[in-house]
Chains A and B, each alone.
Chain A
């Protein structure tokens, strides 16, 4: 019995030793030299492997950061400026400052704003639905609501709101990696400047149909009336294909466009409640607290529809 035991132990230990020696030599032979700075750089990156920088994972980004002399074109959207600064300090290279961005869902077509005209019964995927037809509502540009964007998010930052049927972005968690932007077959999601204290003004619609068609399909769609373009003192708004767009680089957050938009397609987020003496049409509106989430904020002041109707009809 004892002998068996000893033999077993001896053989196993011997095997282990031989394997260790073989492994050592193999490892020596196939060794690949790698810049140790790559590992160090990678350690400074967030490690999310989201691909938001355009490289396959953080390792790819780290390699590029080490290899390129000029890294000003490289940017980690997840870690943002602090990460880039840390990396630049370590590598001794200059880095460009970039303003933090956030994903913005540009559709206000909630279940009550946009009537469903049919039921989609295929695979629960926006890509499948978009490839098939115009969608469940009269608006063929808006959110399909199957949540492809929520499934690609690595940061748990975008969720479907079952009440509105639209995705909502959690600004705290969003890293602006752009995964949802790519996943959305309708190109509704845009990366926009986060803005001072998160304040933003944007057109919450991507519908390029003519005004009358849009109006029929959705009560908060952009009808392309052009009032905002005329109102904007900074020439930040352009109108193309019946759709207004606010250039975040030019917008100075004066919010004049929000007030003139007849359908409430232009929204403002994270602004403090307007003071009562401002030219708000009714005090009820001013008292209304502004919603904190970006996507479905409907500051669409119903009171302004009066001017709206005129503008809209003129256009139609």
Chain B
């Protein structure tokens, strides 16, 4: 019996059409637009000004406070402006634009492919290096990694969990990393284990990626790596890649309401993040690029590209066969949790795990019908909530009851809207109610 989480979940078709496309290094763009807020938390404070010359890997934004991350230049050239630039949703956000000249790297960065296994740094030094490199959760949540690794006093970590689930349909960036950079990944695991002081590490992979499971098991079988690391094959089910669901699937422990993974002794890191940790600690290489899956049923050449941060998304689509005529929706991320874009000239950021093109026909929502109380949303909710109810309460603005119904537990996975036979926009309203309830709770706590 393969492991999986206890409550809810849905089974969308996985459509991993780009899974056999090897990671391709994408050209350096002519100009790069690097937003200062690419992570959860405070945007970085700009550290350059118009006219400055920068090299690849130079810091252009420094972390503002604890929950924030450094931003590095992904190209070499001249800063042409620090300005508000429209993001994928057309909202203007501060960003540094750089006109590219050549491709010169900061000399401190080791750009060779040689694998460096040894790491003798102290946990504190490792975390400092990760923070300096601006590593954030590359699965899409973009939570600063050093914050996750800083265990609060009184809490004990028992297990590191590596998230190789990639439960979002279509996306294959993590899968390709596991196949092509398995050794670096495992060194990354060892570094993270060292930083956390744990002896156990589980890599969770869904069973729709048997090659990745086999490949990692083969390398681990050679005995070169820490004996505490093992691969856990999981039954395919969305949203298994959710942090709480993954911990539940692997350890059987459920993070209490309002709690953090650390409350059940676990720390979860994504595969891409682990690879970035290896690069940051062993090679001094900050996050200047990331693997992006560019895919879609009607796209000419679905690919996995290694893209510099700040490259316009439209350039990626051009390189993968051009924009198909019948494109209704362009999504930054996966189809379940990604954001539909209004502006495709927006840049690739640390959180861009994929670019998905959908046909107009698939893109449009179907007409809403009355709720028939079928309870399919209740059965699908991985957090054990009642989406039909909290959606309605959100519409009515009954925030006291929303709090009682534990709306703030919602992980916005979209299972409820996915499964609703009446095509109701359940999550649209739940998100509103959740945000408002959080605001009220925070205001109360501030008192």
Contacts and interface: CB of A to CB of B under 8 A. Distances in A.
Contacts of A251: none
B342 interface: yes
A133 B89 contact: yes
B265 interface: no
Contact of A138 (B90, B363, B432): B90
B432 A134 contact: no
Contacts of B365: 121-122
A241 B90 CA distance: 18
Interface of A: 117-118, 121-123, 125, 127-128, 131-135, 138, 140, 209
B342 A128 contact: no
A184 to B, nearest CB: 14
Nearest to B86: A134
A215 to B, nearest CB: 16
B238 interface: no
Interface in B41-93: 86, 88-92
B364 A121 contact: yes
B360 to A, nearest CB: 10
B342 A133 contact: yes
Interface string B312-347: 000000000000000000000000000110100000
What are the 9 tightest A-B residue pairs by CB atom distance, in nearest-first order? Answer: A133-B89, A134-B90, A123-B425, A123-B428, A128-B428, A118-B342, A134-B91, A122-B428, A134-B89
A125 B428 contact: yes
B175 to A, nearest CB: 29
Contact of A140 (B90, B339, B340, B429): B90
A96 B330 CA distance: 56
Interface of B: 86, 88-92, 339-340, 342, 363-365, 425, 428-429, 431-432, 435
Nearest to B341: A133
A209 B342 contact: no
Given A121-B364, A133-B342, A134-B86, A140 B92 contact: yes
Contacts of B342: 117-118, 133-134
A282 to B, nearest CB: 37
A135 B425 contact: no
A123 B91 CA distance: 20
Contacts of B88: 133
A253 B195 CA distance: 69
Contacts of A122: 365, 425, 428
20 contacts: A118-B342, A121-B363, A121-B365, A122-B365, A122-B425, A122-B428, A123-B425, A123-B429, A128-B425, A131-B431, A132-B339, A133-B89, A133-B90, A133-B339, A133-B342, A134-B86, A134-B89, A134-B90, A134-B91, A140-B91
Nearest to A121: B365
Contacts, number: 44
A194 to B, nearest CB: 29
A123 B86 CA distance: 23
A133 B431 CA distance: 14
A232 to B, nearest CB: 29
Contacts of B432: 125, 127-128, 131
A177 to B, nearest CB: 16
B435 A209 contact: no
Given A117-B342, A131-B435, A134-B86, A125 B91 contact: no
Nearest to A138: B90
A125 B429 contact: yes
B189 to A, nearest CB: 36
Given A117-B342, A118-B342, A121-B365, A132 B429 contact: no
Contacts of A209: 92
Given A121-B363, A125-B429, A134-B86, 14 more contacts: A118-B342, A121-B364, A121-B365, A123-B425, A123-B428, A128-B431, A131-B432, A132-B89, A132-B339, A133-B342, A134-B342, A140-B91, A140-B92, A209-B92
Contacts of B340: 133
Of the candidates B90, B339, B363, B364, the one having the most CB atoms from chain A within 10 angstroms of its own CB is B90
B365 to A, nearest CB: 5
A172 to B, nearest CB: 28
A253 to B, nearest CB: 35
Nearest to B365: A121
Given A122-B425, A122-B428, A128-B428, A133 B91 contact: yes
Contacts of A128: 425, 428-429, 431-432
A134 B342 CA distance: 8
Nearest to A151: B395
B339 to A, nearest CB: 8
Contacts of A123: 425, 428-429
Contacts of B435: 131
A127 B396 CA distance: 13
Contacts of A125: 428-429, 432
Nearest to A135: B90
Contacts of A133: 88-91, 339-340, 342
Contacts of B425: 122-123, 128
Contacts of B431: 128, 131
A132 B365 CA distance: 16
A121 B340 CA distance: 10
A131 B86 CA distance: 15
